[in-house]
């Protein structure tokens, strides 16, 4: 294989890789956008305190913040969610 052919193949491989990465970027953005909920807090009767032993930190929908005490997000409810909040969509972790 001539040097010129090798360079062309290598350039093609780099361009294919770049195109693949560029093509995947929107999918990654869609996935992260889908992770956080969009339902308004009022519609789900969200409160920033627990309902008995039920709170967001032990709900399957909760997306924790950087620390256990930090505000997180929810897969259902929009906005910043307290780990000690609660709403009607509460579903206990098993
Ligand atoms: S209790 Fe409601 S707001 Fe809290 S994490 Fe679960 S679904 Fe989200």
pLDDT at 66 over 90: yes
Mean pLDDT, residues 2-26: 58
Are 77 and 46 a contacting pair, CB within 8 Å?
Answer: yes
What is the assigned CATH class of domain 36-94?
Answer: few secondary structures
Pick from 51, 74, 84 the residue to mutate for probing ligand 1's pocket: most ligand atoms within 8 Å of its CB: 74
Percent of the chain with pLDDT over 70: 64
Give the binding-site residues of ligand 1, using a 6 Å CB cut-off: 46, 56, 59, 61-62, 74, 76-77, 81, 85-87, 89-90
pLDDT of residue 29: 47
Instruction: Output the pTM of the full model.
Output: 0.67
Compute the half-sphere exposure of residue 81: CA atoms within 13 Å on the CB side of its CA: 34
User: pLDDT band at residue 72, thresholds of 50, 70 and 90?
Assistant: very high
Look at 10 and 75; give whichever has higher pLDDT.
75
Mean pLDDT over each residue of the chain, to the nearest integer: 82
Indicate the domain borders of the chain.
1-35, 36-94
pLDDT > 70? residue 53: yes
Backbone angle region of 71, left / alpha / beta, with phi > 0 → left and psi within -120 to 50 → alpha: beta
């Amino acid at each position: 294989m001539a040097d010129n052919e090798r360079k062309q193949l290598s350039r093609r491989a780099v361009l294919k890789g770049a195109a693949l990465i560029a093509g995947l970027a929107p999918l990654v953005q869609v996935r992260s956008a889908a992770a956080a909920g969009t339902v308004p807090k009022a519609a789900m009767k969200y409160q920033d305190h627990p309902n008995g032993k039920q709170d967001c930190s032990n709900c399957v929908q909760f997306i924790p913040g950087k620390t256990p005490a930090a505000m997180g997000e929810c897969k259902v409810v929009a906005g910043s969610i307290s780990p000690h909040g609660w709403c009607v969509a509460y579903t206990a972790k098993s």
